[in-house]
């Protein structure tokens, strides 16, 4: 991935973590799901007017011409309903965006793919379709979707024609005000947007006038041009120059262009954001009835101090309250939070104690596997300690730890078995080292730290130092 795109990812993640990130979605986001863009929406209308939509640049006027000819917008409403009520699946980019902890979405799209996808991910949405919606906030909402140009459910109010744009600030002034506020206070990522919308251009210009050179940075994806896509070299050179001017002009509004060679790169960028965000969440897996060369107290101190170190580095810990180590995980994080009086508990610790009192063994196994999948789906790194339990007065290997390792690999987590703690963790460490390049391709520095974690009778400071080093290195491992 291009270095500029990676740099953007790191900057945007900071905005997400500070809850200042926003998405602005244009028609391009929904096209991948099988919905039309503006030109295709107006294609049949243009043909009825004996015009060629591919030769038109002012599509707003084209829509107005059609309404003028029809003597009303009934036909336009019918076309909107036909095109935007199709039964389509959300795109992969919709799904990635819905999985991110982003709370603000703006869109000029009429479809409901954004809100439906967010709801599929268990998020409570507050959709703003008309100005009256802005006066009410839905309690407990996880995301707000501002539909700047309306929604297909109110097709007669959708913003499409010149009349609609000219009357926008009378009928939908509150949307303008709300967007101005968000553009000043948040970092926007524009996806599938052409920057030819006069509403947005007006709002951006007002912000530039008010803030001058203090306009905050926003970002947009733009596709670079390839000569192979042109029949005439002259046309390619012309469009290339025009694109360069467009990029420079967007900078006036604080919008930095992220050039991509292929639209698939957008998915790669969003995936990297998702991956890096999850890498801040560390799942601690462990179970122990006995502790190998450690005493019980030494093992508890190891887990306690490791959790404390993670909290001090602002990592979030996820734990299922494993036998013999769960309380130490909790106490380590709590000790840091309370001694430093920083943040709320849920910023540092996610506890998922396993459901108990399930008599049926088969039912319990199925439920616990789903529980493990849910826990691990929230993390990006899994660390494994010990791995034994008492069965019929005999110490046996923990099958739960093995299952958590397998689920972690299936979900794409990075795994760090602390081999020196023995039992299942030793077996998992041997597995990772024997096929290291499958788990951590092309990274010798991480290998060195993981190899150390398998040495016999390591002391606590060495274990924690190498664990933290490995986790830190993984933040930049793609």
* Residues assigned a catalytic role: 149
Q: Which residues pair with 221 in a beta bridge?
A: 258
CA-nearest of 15, 379, 377 to 187 is 15
Q: Looking at residue 2, what DSSP letter applies?
A: -
Q: How many CB atoms lie within 10 A of CB 195?
A: 17
Coil/strand/helix, residue 89: coil
Q: Indicate the angle between helix axes 361-377 and 399-410, nearest 10 degrees.
A: 40
Q: Looking at residue 212, what DSSP letter applies?
A: G
CA-nearest of 323, 399, 311, 324 to 350 is 311
Sheet holding 125-128, edge to edge: 125-128, 143-147, 104-107, 21-25, 187-191, 218-223, 255-260
CA-nearest of 273, 292, 340, 351 to 318 is 351
3-state secondary structure 416-478: EECHHHCCHHHHHHHHHHHCHHHHCCCCHHHHHHHHHCCCCCCCHHHHHHHHHHHHHHHCCCC
Residue 111 CA to residue 301 CA, distance in Å, equals 54
Residue 187 CA to residue 183 CA, distance in Å, equals 7
Sheet holding 349-351, edge to edge: 349-351, 316-319, 281-287, 381-386, 414-417
CA-nearest of 297, 301, 288, 217 to 252 is 217
Question: Do 386 and 325 touch, CB atoms closer than 8 A?
Answer: yes
CA angle 107, 69, 161 (to 5 degrees): 15
Tell me the two tokens of residue 376: 């691990």
Residue 112 CA to residue 152 CA, distance in Å, equals 8
């Amino acid at each position: 991935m291009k270095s500029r795109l990676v740099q953007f990812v790191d900057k945007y993640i900071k905005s997400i973590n500070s809850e200042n990130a926003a998405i602005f979605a244009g028609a391009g986001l929904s096209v991948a799901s099988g919905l039309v863009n503006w030109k295709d929406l107006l294609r049949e209308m243009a043909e009825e007017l004996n015009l060629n939509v591919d030769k038109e640049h002012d599509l707003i006027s084209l829509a107005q011409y059609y309404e003028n000819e029809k003597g009303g917008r009934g036909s336009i409403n019918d076309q909107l309903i036909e095109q935007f009520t199709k039964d389509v699946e959300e795109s992969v980019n919709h799904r990635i965006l819905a999985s991110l902890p982003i709370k603000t979405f703006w869109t000029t799209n009429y479809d409901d793919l954004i809100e439906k996808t967010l709801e599929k991910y268990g998020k409570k949405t507050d959709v703003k379709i008309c100005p009256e919606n802005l006066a009410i906030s839905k309690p407990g909402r996880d995301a707000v979707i501002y539909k700047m140009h309306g929604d297909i459910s109110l097709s007669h109010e959708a913003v499409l024609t010149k009349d609609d744009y000219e009357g926008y600030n009378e009928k939908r002034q509150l949307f303008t005000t709300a967007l101005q506020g968000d553009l000043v206070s948040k970092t926007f990522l524009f996806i599938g947007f052409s920057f030819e919308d006069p509403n947005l251009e007006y709002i951006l210009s007002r912000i530039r006038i008010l803030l001058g050179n203090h306009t905050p940075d926003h970002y947009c994806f733009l596709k670079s041009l390839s000569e192979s896509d042109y029949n005439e070299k002259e046309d390619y050179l012309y469009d290339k120059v025009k694109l360069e001017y467009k990029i420079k002009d967007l900078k006036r509004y604080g919008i930095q262009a992220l050039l991509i060679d292929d639209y698939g790169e957008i998915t790669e960028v969003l995936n990297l954001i998702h991956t890096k965000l999850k890498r801040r969440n560390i799942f601690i897996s462990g179970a122990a009835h006995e502790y190998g060369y450690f005493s019980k107290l030494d093992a508890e101190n190891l887990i306690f101090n490791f959790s404390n170190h993670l909290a001090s580095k602002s990592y979030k810990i996820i734990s299922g309250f494993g036998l013999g180590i769960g309380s130490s995980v909790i106490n380590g994080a709590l000790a840091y939070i309370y001694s430093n009086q920083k943040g709320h508990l849920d910023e540092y610790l996610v506890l998922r104690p396993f459901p108990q009192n399930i008599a049926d063994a088969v039912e319990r196994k199925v439920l616990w596997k789903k529980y493990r999948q849910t826990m691990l789906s929230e993390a990006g790194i899994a660390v494994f300690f010990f791995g034994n339990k008492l069965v019929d007065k005999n110490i046996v290997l923990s099958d739960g730890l093995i299952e958590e390792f397998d689920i972690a690999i299936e979900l794409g987590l990075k795994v760090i078995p602390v081999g020196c703690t023995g039992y299942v963790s030793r077996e998992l460490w041997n597995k990772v080292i024997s096929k290291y390049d499958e788990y951590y391709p092309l990274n010798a520095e991480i290998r060195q730290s993981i190899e150390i974690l398998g040495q016999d009778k390591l002391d606590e400071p060495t274990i924690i130092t190498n664990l933290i080093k490995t986790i830190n290195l993984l933040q930049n491992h793609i």
